[in-house]
Amino acid sequence: MSRSQRLLTLIQILRRHRFPVAGTVLAQELGITLRTLYRDIGTLKEQGANIEGAAGLGFVLHPGFMLPPLMFSEDEIEALVLGSRWVAERADERLGQAARNALDKISAVLPSGLRDEMDASALLIGPSASPLPADIVQPLIRKAIRAERKAEIVYTDLKGEQSCRTIWPFALGYFDDARVLVAWCELREGFRHFRSDRISTFTVAQERYPRRRQALLRAWRLQEGISPQ
């Protein structure tokens, strides 16, 4: 691992922790000596990183420091390209275009060698067995999730029965054969899953729902037995 890559990795490790991390833990994760770690910490401070702490006490990175995204490993580049290609092929047109734009922005700031690696990535997305029809409600769903607002929907279940509901949308799952909205349903007083292609109308309300999105997501994962990511 080059020193520039090591400094970037050190920043990423510190960002994962809200509380001070012992120097021995950082050094072990990076595979370096404590002396090298202290030297790297000093270098990052000189570059403007607001790292607080000292030997024996641990280190914490305060928000606000950004390194230019110039260094990625080959695996990281392949992950970025593959993920963006999947979104471009499987998501709605607006999100797909956003994925293509993001790749263009990343490519523009990469050194020429890494840019060539990105352009030459051989990981491809295969055709879907059953392509999904255009789904006009997905952008509205994402808007409601980001704003943590209630929504009024008209939904048709598997039996063909239609109902009007007030929901608290907080997650959207992307599968090859469906897009599934996860929400708290006021009608059923519990978590429910709604296929987006069965939502005929989706109206974002002005009222925010009373719990934070992260809290709803944690409670839903606990109920479903899903480990936190």
- pLDDT of res. 195: 94
Distance CA 176, CA 90 (A): 7
Mean pLDDT in residue range 39-46: 89
Classify residue 188 by burial, with Cβ atoms within 10 Å: 0-12, 13-18, 19+.
exposed
pLDDT value of residue 203: 97
| C-alpha to C-alpha distance for 31 and 14, rounded to whole angstroms | 15
The DSSP secondary structure of 57-93, one letter per residue, reads TEEEEPTT----S----HHHHHHHHHHHHHHHHHS-H
Domains along the chain with CATH numbers? 3-61 (1.10.10.10), 74-119 (no CATH), 138-224 (2.30.30.520)
Q: How far apart are CA 150 and CA 43, in angstroms?
A: 47
- Pair 138, 179: CB distance under 8 Å: yes
Q: Report yes or no on whether pTM surpasses 0.75.
A: no
Tokens of 202: 């989706």
3-38 pLDDT, tens digit each: 777 888 888 888 888 788 999 999 999 999 999 999
Contact predicate 29/13, CB 8 Å: yes
Per the rule left: phi > 0, alpha: psi between -120 and 50, beta: everything else, 192 is beta
Share of the chain above pLDDT 70, in %: 90
Q: Mind listing the pLDDT tens digit for each residue in 115-145? A: 787 888 888 888 776 666 666 799 999 999 9
Query: What's the rounded Cα separation, in Å, for the pair 50 and 32?
Result: 22
* pLDDT tens digits, 75-131: 888 898 999 999 988 888 889 899 998 888 778 767 677 778 788 888 888 877 666
